Amino acid sequence: MSSTSNRTLVLVRHGQSEWNLKNLFTGWRDPGLTEQGVAEANAAGDRLKAAGLHFDIAFTSVLSRAQRTLDLILDRTGQTGLETIRDQALNERDYGDLSGLNKDDARAKWGEEQVHVWRRSYDVPPPGGESLKDTGARVWPYYIHTIQPRVLAGGTVIVAAHGNSLRALIMALDGLTGEEIVSRELATGVPIVYRLNADSTVASKDVLDA
């Protein structure tokens, strides 16, 4: 059995954003964190520190809610200034024409069922935006070519990103089908710790919730 101890990948969704609080479709728009979001990011950092994790590199999106979450986490783990790569490939799914709309207003206009399909289905894109499949088509190659090599080299890597960009990644890591991913939700500010085998398969997965 090969040791997995240092091949560690931590995924964390940003803390609550201003638009999560206002119940608005966000996508590539760039609101900041709420006070609660800041507290969630700090708590995530405390849990990662308590788990004894020390990072070698960080990845995040070009959106400020994910970057701020990462900064707060690294501050709590005592790793301010850690090498960080910011890439659009890790951005939230582009919500297209829904961006900036209130989710309840959208349900009233298009119906509960249609809005659920746009938000959670695998391959139905919202008008003018990306499906989860489209999102995965940019997230997964970025993971394979840029993130995964750092993990397989024995690193401990943190990725601070978004609900749907991380759902796309988790779908592939966990081997979920397009039907299974529909019911998967990702809490804000809750780190998920994967340990990988040398062949890149998942050895273990731990959710660091309170």
Ligand X SMILES: O=C(O)[C@@H](CO)OP(=O)(O)O
Residue stretches of the annotated binding site:
13-20, 26-27, 65, 92-95, 103, 119-120, 163-164
Q: How far is the CB of 204 from ligand X (least distance, A)?
A: 27
Helix, coil or strand: residue 171: helix
Residues forming the site for ligand X (CB under 6 A): 20, 25-27, 92, 95, 119, 163-164
Binding-site positions for substrate read 13-20, 26-27, 65, 92-95, 103, 119-120, 163-164
Burial of 52 (0-12, 13-18, 19+ CB in 10 A): exposed
**130 included as an active-site residue:** no
CB-CB contact of 96 with 17 (8 Å): no
Tell the smallest beta-carbon distance from residue 27 to ligand X (Å): 5
Nearest to 9 by CA among 210, 197, 202, 195: 195
- Choosing from 14, 40, 130, 162, the catalytic residue is 14
CB of 54 to ligand X, least distance (A): 29
Catalytic residue among 40, 83, 92, 112: 92
CA end-to-end span of the chain: 31
Nearer to ligand X, 95 or 142 (CB): 95
CA distance 103 to 143: 30
Can 40 be counted among the known catalytic residues? no
Catalytic residues: 14, 92
